[in-house]
Structures are given as C-alpha cells and as structure tokens.
Amino acid sequence: MKTNKLIIISLIILTSCGVAKSDFDWLVGSWERKNGKPGTQTIESWKKVDGKTYKCISVVLKDKDTVYSEHCTIKKEGNDYYYIAEVPQNRNPTKFKIIKFNSEGFKAVNPEHDFPKEINYQISGNTIIASISGGDKKIDYNFEKQ
C-alpha cells in the first residue's frame, strides 16, 4: 500500500515539473515607465506569440501624440534566445544574444553594436527595472505594470 502511494506521489511530482511557465512569461502585459522625461509617457506592451516568441511594441507619447516607437522580439533560435530590436533609425533589426535569463530577468548583449551593447531587465513584483548600456553611457527604465 505504501509503495502505491509513493508511486502515485512520484508521478504527480514528475508531471507537474513538466508544466513550468516559460521564463519570459513575466513580461506579458503593459508596462508604463515611471522615470521618463516630464510631459511624456512611455509604454511597453508585451505579448506571448507562442512558446518560443514574445513581441513588444514600445511607444513614447507626448500630448497624446506618438513621438517614438519601436518593436522588439524575444525569440528562440536553436538553443539560444535573442532580443531583436527594430528601431526607426536602423534599416535592419539589431540582434542581441540573451546570455543569462530566468523567471526574474534577462541580460542580452551585442558587443558589435554602437549603443546599446547590453540590455538588462529585472522584475520585482509589479515593477521592471530595465537598462541599456554601452561604454560610459547607461539609461535606466523603471516600469510599473498597468
């Protein structure tokens, strides 16, 4: 009888381990920047496309007009994840390799790019602390979930 209970408990534990959320699910939703320039509003909206892809649109509004926008994608290619940024000033998307990630954040790098060379996101509750950096320059983004 004890053996049967042990087998059942083991099966429950093993099957529940396979139902883990993706490491980037914490990004899904709309996030508003709290440390932007006065008179502007920055919003990032992330959605999960499938198990390997997340898409984002980021907009900066001033007086209800869009003054800047960019599209981002987190995508698995082979065994690696990439953060891909599409910004108006670049003709082609810029790819950053995600070298570290878990359910609380990620770090993406592209040493060949002029700026930024590194992108970091960390979540804590309903807040994301993000930064872009390269050389001596760093910009922090403090987002709150909407």
**Intervals of the chain under pLDDT 70:** 1-21
Distance, CA of 52 to CA of 25 (rounded, Å) = 11
Is 137 strand, coil or helix? Answer: strand
Q: Of 84, 16, 72, give the one whose Cα is nearest residue 47.
A: 72
- Give residue-wise pLDDT tens across range 70-82: 999 999 999 999 9
- Give residue-wise pLDDT tens across range 85-105: 999 988 999 999 999 999 999
Query: Considering Cα of 54, then 139, then 35, then 91, what sign does the dihedral take?
Result: negative
Partnered with residue 131 across adjacent β-strands are: 120, 140
Is 100 strand, coil or helix? Answer: strand
Assign a CATH topology to domain 21-145: Lipocalin (2.40.128)
Q: What is the pTM of this model?
A: 0.84
